[in-house]
Amino acid sequence: MPGFELFGESEKSQVQDVLDTGVLMRYGFDGMRNNQWKALELEKALALRMNTKHAQLVSSGTAALTVALASAGVGAGDEVIMPTFTFVASFESILAIGAVPILVDVDDTLTLNPAAVEKAITSKTKVVMPVHMCGSMADLKALKDICDRHNLLLVEDACQAIGGSYEGKPLGSYGDLGCFSFDYVKTITCGEGGAIITNNDTYISNADHYSDHGHDHVGTDRGAETHPFLGYNFRISELNAAVGCAQIQRLDEFLEIQKNHYTILKSAIEPISNIAFRRVPTGGVENYSFLSFFLPTEQLAKKAYTALIAAGVDACFYWFDNNWHYYKKWEHLTNVKSLGKLPQEVLNQLPDYSKADFSKSDAWIGRTISCLIKLSWTDEQVNERAVKMKEVLAKLV
């Protein structure tokens, strides 16, 4: 991770196919495009790789979450349960459709704690949205059981975990809808892009229309298409999709590299006493894009992070103080800062997060360090990194 590190001739060739036609839009201009339909090609490849009936490309991972929720009929006043540890796009997508983000604690998986989810359910809850952060998954079976009992939707945010699996199913395919990001720093990239996968015919039809201004895409005359419902513009371009067409074919290659690098680093620090690793639920397989581990205390985690960076071990993250990925720094959500007035349902139902007690999340995230696994490392660089990590951590713990 990320896929841009290994851009090569296959990506160039796919992009050149589009440039040769001059058609950069995914819809229309049939006579000009010389039968080049990169978005359709990538959707088919993605659905095949994820073992789902359908895939819909959109302009970003944030768009994927927004379109997925909208396609399932989630709207004003509906509550969506999400974790305290995620990217800000999670609550942005929820608020964008007038729904209400309900934050709950994470556990040692660094994802949604099923017990906390159960306690957060109200009569207005419509969705449970686990976020498979840093390449590994939530306790999906437990969450699915909760959703089935309460008649809720399970929407997987697999934006950071493409290629991982749970109980033999690709991440994103276990719930009712799954979402991916193909931005510049994801395991496979389109530069900018995202996708929704599902086996539900209604959801994918809604996603197809909603992401293109409500166009029904019936017939071959775009100007004659009807608008069955309101939509917005979340389209991906053919240029972005072309990059993805090359990258999806390289996913297994990337995963193998990540697993190899991850294993070397984990093996180096595993013998150190008082270091523990995030829990991967039974039946789960990571995509190995991050190595995440716990120090005994928050103070030691901060010291270890500082020492690792000073020793030249870059691309490490201490999420507890991160501006974008942990609730503590989401003051724009806590203080409800918006350019325009938010829907009344949001204002009425949004919890006062300035008074929320997420100490159970703090107990895990405060002790967590995550190290990004790069695709471009040579064997020498990986082994050198492993030695440095071992030396630094052994001195502190």
Contact 209, 229 (CB under 8 A): yes
pLDDT the model gives residue 387: 98
The residue-averaged pLDDT of 177-196 equals 98
- Does the pLDDT at position 233 exceed 90? yes
- Does the pLDDT at position 204 exceed 90? yes
The residue-averaged pLDDT of 261-275 equals 97
Alpha helix ranges (H) inside 3-156: 9-21, 38-50, 61-71, 89-96, 114-120, 140-150
pLDDT band at residue 60, thresholds of 50, 70 and 90?
Answer: very high
Tens digit of each residue's pLDDT (9 = 90 or more) over 105-143: 999 999 999 999 999 999 999 999 999 999 999 999 999
Contact 285, 137 (CB under 8 A): no
The residue-averaged pLDDT of 329-344 equals 96
Q: SS3 for 301?
A: helix
- The residue annotated as part of the active site, out of 38, 186, 328, 374, is 186
Question: Rg of the Cα trace of the chain?
Answer: 21
CATH of 3-250, one of 3.40.640.10, 1.10.10.10, 3.40.190.80, 3.40.50.850: 3.40.640.10
Tens digit of each residue's pLDDT (9 = 90 or more) over 61-87: 999 999 999 999 999 999 999 999 999
pLDDT the model gives residue 26: 97
The residue-averaged pLDDT of 87-114 equals 98
* Nearest one of 391, 364, 382 to 133, comparing CA atoms: 364
Domain 252-396 has CATH 3.30.300.30: no
Q: Hey, what are 151's tokens? A: 């008649």
The residue-averaged pLDDT of 367-377 equals 98
DSSP of 293-351: EE-SSHHHHHHHHHHHHHTT--SEE-GGG-TTTBGGG-HHHHTT--SSPPPHHHHHH--
The residue-averaged pLDDT of 220-243 equals 97
Look-up: residue for tokens 């990320």? Answer: 2
Average pLDDT, the chain: 98
Element spanning 81, H or E: strand 79-83
For CATH 3.90.1150.10, the residue range(s) in the chain are 252-396
Q: Hey, what are 25's tokens? A: 């839009």
12 in active site: no
For CATH 3.40.640.10, the residue range(s) in the chain are 3-250
Q: Hey, what are 197's tokens? A: 């996968």
pLDDT the model gives residue 397: 87
pLDDT the model gives residue 1: 86
pLDDT the model gives residue 393: 98
Element spanning 170, H or E: strand 169-170
| Percentage, residues of the chain above pLDDT 70 | 100
